């Protein structure tokens, strides 16, 4: 969050992350249009959280407007030098189109919410699934080692510096098929996206032979123009007709062989492809931030893998948490206790 909004925003609004999670918890209810007084606790909390988030975004836009005009935005916004170029550019675009500050919050809230409620959860699930699969963490570390390196600077003046990470995103994306297959498999198991589409013309959806339940006949459904359909992707992602052993984490599920091509992974004849997996939606409404999210998740997971060792915090070993309903990526239904230990510092420089 500070890397996007700056430290002053966090000081002005210290409960921002709590409100993002409250919004995420009740997001589907808001999408249904349920009013604040509806007798479900998460509905009221989501309404209030959204109002506070929009109010805070209004204030930072007013401060950025004042700063752009050469003024002083006030003591609570005394240092806005670390506000990201993304937010500054968006502020300039809003101003350039004559959009009032109070109307900008909903447009920026989607970014603030998505970058915290989706990718962060996916990093958690990917890390836990890699560590909970016997032998997998060693294989993944071996594959990413040329493109993710941790180094420990030598002690100076009696002070220990934090470790430094050197990451090659191009290498992680193009030369690490097993690592990327783990990412896709985590998306399949732990993302819960829903696509909403408006029907442009009447058409009929018919069940295929594979979809017909034993002892029943194929059914058909008329979808009328002007109506909306909700497509929960988890129904497809956990369908045994498309994915064998759909509830099992199989790190190599998305590995496919290629005969020709440049680059190390193609020469080895292996690459990772999503194929029938579509967690980002499709068509004109396909998630525009999917490439950024992929890089964000792979970079964080690689950095943690080369810096830390994890151990289960309970004697019984790794136990995967259940899922609690969320908007984009599932939230763990219970806490998971782990022991963290810095990896050996033999890589001091």
- Distance set, CA 266 to CA 178, 184, 260, 269, 302 (Å): 13, 18, 6, 5, 21
Nearest to 28 by CA among 196, 236, 279, 277: 196
d(CA 218, CA 198): 25
Nearest to 122 by CA among 287, 323, 317, 307: 323
pLDDT, one tens digit for every residue, the chain (349 residues):
888 888 998 988 899 889 998 998 888 888 888 899 999 998 999 999 999 999 999 999 999 999 888 888 888 888 888 888 989 999 999 999 999 988 988 888 888 887 777 888 899 999 999 999 999 999 999 999 999 888 777 766 667 777 788 888 899 998 999 999 999 999 999 988 888 888 899 989 888 887 777 888 888 889 999 988 888 888 888 888 888 999 999 999 988 887 655 555 544 578 888 878 887 776 777 776 778 888 889 999 999 999 989 888 888 888 888 888 777 888 888 888 989 888 875 444 4
Q: How many CB atoms lie within 10 A of CB 146?
A: 13
Q: Among the residues of the chain, which ranges form H helices?
A: 2-5, 7-12, 16-25, 27-31, 41-68, 85-96, 105-117, 119-132, 136-144, 169-174, 177-190, 233-237, 264-267, 290-307
In our burial notation (b when 16+ CB lie closer than 10 A, e otherwise), range 330-344 reads bbbeeeeebeeeeee
Q: How many CA atoms lie within 13 A of 283 on its CB side?
A: 5
């Amino acid at each position: 969050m500070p890397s996007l909004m700056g430290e002053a925003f966090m000081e002005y609004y210290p409960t921002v992350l709590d409100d993002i999670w409250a919004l995420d918890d009740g997001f589907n209810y808001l999408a249904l249009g349920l009013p604040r007084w509806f007798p479900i606790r998460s509905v009221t909390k989501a309404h209030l959280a959204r109002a506070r988030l929009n109010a805070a975004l209004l204030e930072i836009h007013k401060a950025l407007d004042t700063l752009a005009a050469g003024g002083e935005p006030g003591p609570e916004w005394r240092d806005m030098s670390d506000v990201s170029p993304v937010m500054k550019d968006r502020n300039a675009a809003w101003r350039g189109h004559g959009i009032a500050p109070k109307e900008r919050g909903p447009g920026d809230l989607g970014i603030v919410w998505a970058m915290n409620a989706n990718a962060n959860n996916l990093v958690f699930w990917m890390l836990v699934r890699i560590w909970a699969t016997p032998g997998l963490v060693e294989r993944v570390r071996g594959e990413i080692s040329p493109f993710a390196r941790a180094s420990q600077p030598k002690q100076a003046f009696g002070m220990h510096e934090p470790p430094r990470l050197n990451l090659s995103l191009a290498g992680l994306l193009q030369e690490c098929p097993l690592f990327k297959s783990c990412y896709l498999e985590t998306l399949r198991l732990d993302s819960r996206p829903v696509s909403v589409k408006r029907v442009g013309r009447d058409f009929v959806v018919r069940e295929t032979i594979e979809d017909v339940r034993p002892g029943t006949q194929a059914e058909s459904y008329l979808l009328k123009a002007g109506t909306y359909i909700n497509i929960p992707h988890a129904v497809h992602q956990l369908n045994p007709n498309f994915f064998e052993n759909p509830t099992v984490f199989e790190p190599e599920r998305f590995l496919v062989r290629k005969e020709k091509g440049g680059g190390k992974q193609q020469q080895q004849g292996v690459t990772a492809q999503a194929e029938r997996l579509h967690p980002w939606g499709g068509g004109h409404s396909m998630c525009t931030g999917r490439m950024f999210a992929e890089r964000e998740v792979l970079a964080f997971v690689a950095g943690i893998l080369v810096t830390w060792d994890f151990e289960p915090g309970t004697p019984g070993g790794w136990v995967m948490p259940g899922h609690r309903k969320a908007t984009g990526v599932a939230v763990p239904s219970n806490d998971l206790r782990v022991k963290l230990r810095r990896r050996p510092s033999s890589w001091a420089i």
